[in-house]
A = this chain, B = another copy of it.
Amino acid sequence: MMYDDNYFMKLALIEAKTAFEAGEVPIGAIVVQQNRVIGRGHNLTETLEDATAHAEMQALTAASGTLGAKYLIDCTIYVTVEPCVMCAGAMSWTKISRLVYGASEPKFGYTQKAPTALHPKTEVLAGLMADECSELMKRFFKDKR
């Protein structure tokens, strides 16, 4: 088994599909440190009746819980969709080393509304498996109409 960015983004997509099946906006996130998954999450805003329960928030809090540490040193977060301002701000506080995301989010993404929201040292890779990630979102919102 090859552990690379595609492998972990596929795990994030599995989380997103779990959200989809629960009637949640299908976004998933995985936090990885040295090829070990230390946090995972998917969007739970409807299930928890909490508008802040985004996939990234779940995954970041889970990762800190696993490490018993506030800071996610040498960690990468994989998210299927570009994070919003809240989640980018959350990543900043954790000082996470790297962000990899799939589909762009022109309306709510941090790159539009708060381009400096991430920690300046966080590396970003955008657009990984963007088609698969956005296809799931499109299917969800099409079903809703």
Question: Which residues of A are at the interface with B, using a C-beta cutoff of 8 A?
Answer: 45-46, 48-53, 57, 60-61, 64-65, 67-71, 84-90, 92-95, 113-114, 116-117
Contacts and interface: CB of A to CB of B under 8 A. Distances in A.
Given A85-B88, A113-B114, A114-B85, A93 B49 contact: no
Q: How many copies does the complex hold?
A: 2
A64 B89 contact: no
Contact of A113 (B53, B57, B69, B116): B116
Contacts of A85: 85-86, 88-89, 92, 114, 117
A87 B114 CA distance: 13
23 contacts: A49-B70, A50-B60, A50-B64, A50-B65, A51-B60, A51-B71, A51-B93, A51-B94, A51-B95, A52-B61, A52-B90, A52-B93, A52-B94, A85-B88, A85-B89, A86-B87, A86-B88, A86-B92, A86-B93, A89-B114, A113-B117, A114-B114, A114-B117
